Amino acid sequence: MKTKILVTGGTGYIGSHTVVELQNAGYEVIIIDNLSNSTIEVLDGIEKITNKRPIFIQMDLNDKVGLQQVFSSHADIKGIIHFAASKAVGESVYKPLLYYRNNIVTLLNLLDLMPEAGVEGIVFSSSCTVYGQPDILPVTEDAPIKPALSPYGNSKQINEEIIRDTIYAGLPFKSIILRYFNPIGAHPSAEIGELPNGVPQNLVPFITQTAMGIRQELSVFGDDYNTPDGSCIRDYIHVVDLAKAHVTAIDRLLTNKSEERLEIFNLGTGIGVSVLELLSTFEKETGVKVPYKIVERREGDIEQVWADPKHANEVLGWTAKESVGSTLLSAWNWQKRLRERGIQ
């Protein structure tokens, strides 16, 4: 019988790509999502790619009674991958309670119910935001955690602490925390991808929408940073590479490959790319010009951060494979598909 995995936030951007990879690897998937930042049509995309429609339950994870019912009717859930969370950094500043409720109470509900449900492990979506501006680059997992700059960032730090305290208290499950750098791109089939609500806050959807003519021009937030070309540097990772790391992590938890009850891994390529470099790579790969202007720095931006992925490479046995060029091309193909469908 196939091992059953609960994927919370499974119709979201990273969640949907992970569901595809889990199904391709032979897992049976149950998605719980409240569709607050995704649409039901994502299930069609997943089905087209994998020939299998995952079980879908529309529910808010704050509904603990509902969650308990899911565990009773699917008594064979062995692992959880927990993506569901609110993730707009700016919004979190003026709606902190929404962020703490959605990002913390939901985790508490899952952890509370796992022992009785017999769930053996949980993979948690964390972020490189926990490092703030690291003193040493590339950043390793034992770099100090810096004070968070937003309720969103703080919620990820608190989530990590809650998981650590729960594991050390001896609750009968294991966990892997994955700290993502900047996920971009879309599935090569262009059946699923990122679908931002309103004006995109993240760089790559803004670039593809500008290239499509939906936005007039890209604003590059600052060219006076202490970096070679003055723009900020990030570690951009293909979302499919990221999704595959989750399959490796859940395999590791469920087959007891490690004695450790809690492990933390950076998921990045190890390559730092500036905003202006990313833009010129996009233009080179797609042949489409993107109008842009340099504007003021964005408040709260980190100057430069990229991963040391050695721990994930050597211990998890996972490495990011896609180049930033092919990743940007996949994002552009997805944007073109959205246009064909009349969505954007």
Q: What share of the chain is helix, strand, coil (3-state, %, to 5)?
A: 40, 20, 40
CA separation, residue 127 to residues 132, 150, 215 (Å): 10, 13, 28
State the minimum distance, in angstroms, from the CB of residue 89 to ligand WQD. 5
Q: Does 306 bind ligand WQD (CB under 6 A)?
A: no
Alpha helix locations (H) across 25-133? 42-50, 64-73, 89-94, 96-100, 106-117
Residue facing ligand WQD at closest CB distance: 232
Smallest distance, ligand WQD to C-beta of residue 296, A: 10
Check if 152 is active-site.
yes
Which is nearer to ligand WQD, 146 or 261 (by Cβ)? 146
By C-alpha distance, which of 295, 247, 297, 307 is closest to 271? 307
Identify the CA nearest to 160 among candidates 230, 103, 91: 103
**Tokens at 331, concatenated:** 């994002």
In the complex, minimum distance from the CB of residue 28 to ligand WQD, in angstroms, rounded to a whole number: 27
Q: In whole angstroms, how close is the CB of 47 to ligand WQD at the nearest point?
A: 26
129 or 175: whose CB is closer to ligand WQD? Answer: 129
Asked whether the beta carbons of 46 and 16 are under 8 A apart, the reply is yes
- Given 27, 152, 225, 236, the catalytic residue: 152
Nearer to ligand WQD, 124 or 206 (CB): 206
Of residues 133-172, those binding ligand WQD (CB under 6 A): none
Instruction: Choose between 121 and 272: whose C-beta lies nearer to ligand WQD.
Output: 272
Alpha helices in 266-323 (DSSP H): 275-286, 310-311
Helix 324-340 to helix 275-286 angle, to the nearest 10 degrees?
60
Q: Which is nearer to ligand WQD, 89 or 190 (CB)?
A: 89
CB count within 10 Å of CB 155 equals: 24
Size of the residue set binding ligand WQD (CB under 6 A):
18
Residue 113 and residue 106 in contact, taking contact as beta carbons nearer than 8 Å: no
Interface with ligand WQD (CB under 6 A), residue from 129, 154, 333, 335:
129
Shortest distance, position 26 Cβ to ligand WQD, whole Å: 29
Residue 256 DSSP label: T
Residues 60-89 that bind ligand WQD (CB under 6 A): 87, 89
Site string for ligand WQD, 260-279 (x = CB under 6 A): ---------------x----
The nearest distance, CB 150 to ligand WQD, in angstroms, is: 8
Among 57, 232, 242, 338, binds ligand WQD (CB under 6 A): 232
CB-based contact 31:56 (threshold 8 Å) = yes
Give whichever of 171 and 302 is closer to ligand WQD, judged by the CB atom: 302
* Rounded-to-integer distance, Cα 276 and Cα 280, Å: 6
Min dist CB 160 to ligand WQD, Å, is 14
Phi, psi of 333 (to 5 degrees): -60, -35
Residues 193-222 within binding reach of ligand WQD (CB under 6 A): 201-203, 206, 218-221
Binding site for ligand WQD (CB under 6 A): 87, 89, 127, 129, 182, 201-203, 206, 218-221, 232, 234, 275, 298, 301
Which residues form the catalytic set? 152
